[in-house]
Every structure is written in C-alpha cells, then in structure tokens.
Amino acid sequence: MLRKLVGTVLLVIGLSVSTAAMAQDESNPYLMVKNAATKTFDRIKRERVAIEKNPDLLRAIMEQELLPHVDYKFSALKVLGKHFKSVPHDKIPEFIQVFRDYLVTTYAIAMSQYDDQVVEFEPAQDVEDDRMVTVRALVKEPGRPDIKIAFKVRKSSRTDEWKAFDMVAEGISLLSSKQSELEGIIRQDGIDAVIKMLKEKNSQSIVLPNKKEDN
C-alpha cells in the first residue's frame, strides 16, 4: 500500500505542475496548477487504451504537457548545490540535459499510477507582488488517508512566467531528496557517474502497475 501511496503522490505532483492552461490563467500559479491537472487527467483518460498498448506514450505526454512549464534548469542546478563550482564547467550542460530527461521519466513512471484519484486545491490567492509561491492541495482516494502535497512555483525575472521547480509530499521535498541521493555519488565518483546513472534510468521502459495489487 505504501508504494502505491507514494506513487500516487508523485503522479499528482507531476501532473499538477504541467500546464497548457487558458491564457487568462497563466498569470496566477494557483489557477495554472488546478487547470493543468484537470486537463492532463482528462488526456490520460482519453488515451488510456493507447497507453496500455504502449506505456512509453506517457513520456510523450510529459514532454508535451509538463516540461514546458517546469524550470528544470533551475532544479538541476539546485540539485548540484555546493558541487556546482567543483564540477567541470563543460559537464554542466550535459548534466542539465540528462536531469531534464530524468524528470520526464520520473513523472511518466508516476503517471502510470493514475487511477481516478481526486485532487482538491486551495483557493487562488493574489500573487501580484510575489516571485515565489507554494500551491497546496489534498489527494483524495476512497479508503485511503488524504495526502498533503505542495508545489513550489517561481516567477522568472526574465520572462515573468510561472514555472514549477520543486514539489513536497507529506513534508518531503523531491528536490531535497534528489540532492541528498546524488550528492554522495558526485562526491565519491564524480559527475560522470551521476550522468551515467541517470542515463540508465532514462533508458528503462515504462511499466504499468498491476491494478490487482493493493500494495
């Protein structure tokens, strides 16, 4: 049950930061997140038969619906953290690219857990003077405890676009957990080992969960 619960959390995070929302909602991250989640869930339902035949279609959905609205460059550099200065400069663009692809894979895997969960979002708030906000929501599924999630969204000083850079599930930051996971590898084996590991993860096919399993 715990594994599916975590998968559900990641799924909703991945879907909810994606967006092709209507133009009038682009200036408000709360409406952006809510409308994007609804649109993306609807697309999964529509394409369920095709997805069951080819689960890797979920990667294409992530490329189209999620990635344009995720600040993966900012996230990648945050993950590098203190190692940014010690990593060979010519390796930074390659790391950003594989981290981008890793996010696509991560969300595609999470999306495979989708099974008509309901998400309730907090009401939209005024963000006129804000550059960074946290959008909170509850994931509801019959017979299971509600899951608290939050989306960290920042406004680009260059483009004024709102993009997601982190997500928090039950108090656990995805960005912080990735930083902790990769920090030791960078320190011990270097950036090339991290890039190799992420490429291997990215090459794996998406496998849909067995709906008969309850945990």
Residue 72 resides in a domain: yes
Q: Within 10 A of 192 (CB to CB), how many other CB atoms are there?
A: 14
Q: In this structure, what CATH number is given to the domain that contains residue 173? A: 3.10.450.710
Mean pLDDT in consecutive groups of 10 residues from the start of the chain, 215 residues: 46 42 61 75 84 92 81 93 91 96 86 75 86 89 85 87 85 87 91 95 89 52
pLDDT of residue 49: 93
Residue 211 resides in a domain: no
pTM: 0.79
**166: domain range?**
2-202
pLDDT of residue 211: 58
Classify burial at 8, counting beta carbons within 10 Å of its beta carbon; exposed 0-12, middle 13-18, buried 19 or more. Answer: buried
pLDDT of residue 26: 62
Residue 148 resides in a domain: yes
